[in-house]
Structure 1
């Protein structure tokens, strides 16, 4: 029978795991920078409801026991999964992240605002995402 899976979404990695994952398995995954510092964890993923593509991984950062925590939308393209760490790696220093676009739990941005989206993608130097 012919396999109709296209692209890398259904391909196996060197460890035999597929590259497909449920969103609830992504949430809670640790995030590190290239130097190995723990930065936070994935709090949520934001999808384009038409294409189904992940636009942002929202990372929780800072705070203690949920108090003072900030959420940073990271363009999905900035994350690389590291199977040895069991988490995502982003090319950011802690200082760069502290100055990045963020919001608090009571102030979620308007995800459909193209100007806001452009500011996030521009900050990280990520290629534009057309919403």
Structure 2
């Protein structure tokens, strides 16, 4: 009966985050969502979601950053676990200063990375950096 009630109400009553209504999202509903940092600075929009077809996991989100009228835009492969959802504001949070993306090279939109390992690394403080 509890599972039936969850399906009607959309409220999750078990797992790591009980009573949190947000449990699954469609890719279509995520693409285009805004990405901000913890200082509420706009970092870009989710352009796409890259799936690993071998194991069914999300490899990374593609974030489109900056630019104006298709000029000077940058694209970044951001690992799935480095974004968190702010469901109340319908956006994602990437805990990095805007200056990190301003200074980082990004990747060519016509040559997306096969894997995000070439574009990020974690330092001892679990921040996102380039090598």
Fold match, TM over 0.5?
yes
Give the Cα–Cα distance (whole angstroms) in 1 for the partners of residues 39 and 74 of structure 2: 22
Aligned pairs for 1:28-107 (under 5 A) are 28-100=32-104, 102-107=106-111
Q: Normalised by the size of structure 1, how large is the TM-score?
A: 0.73
Aligned residue pairs, count: 115
Deviates most, 30-39 or 95-104: 95-104
Deviates most, 64-73 or 21-30: 64-73
CA deviations over 1:104-129 (Å, ceiling 9, x no partner): 323323x15xxxx3333415747xxx
Whether the 8 Å contact between 1:100 and 1:123 is mirrored in structure 2 is no
Whether the 8 Å contact between 1:73 and 1:101 is mirrored in structure 2 is no
Q: Give the CA RMSD over aligned residues.
A: 2.7
Question: Which structure carries more strand by proportion?
Answer: 2
Instruction: Give the deviation of 1:76 after TM superposition.
Output: 0.7
Q: Where do 5+ consecutive residues of structure 2 fail to align? A: 4-9
Whether the 8 Å contact between 1:27 and 1:45 is mirrored in structure 2 is yes
CA deviations over 1:80-102 (Å, ceiling 9, x no partner): 00123210001100111223351
Q: Normalised by the size of structure 2, how large is the TM-score?
A: 0.73
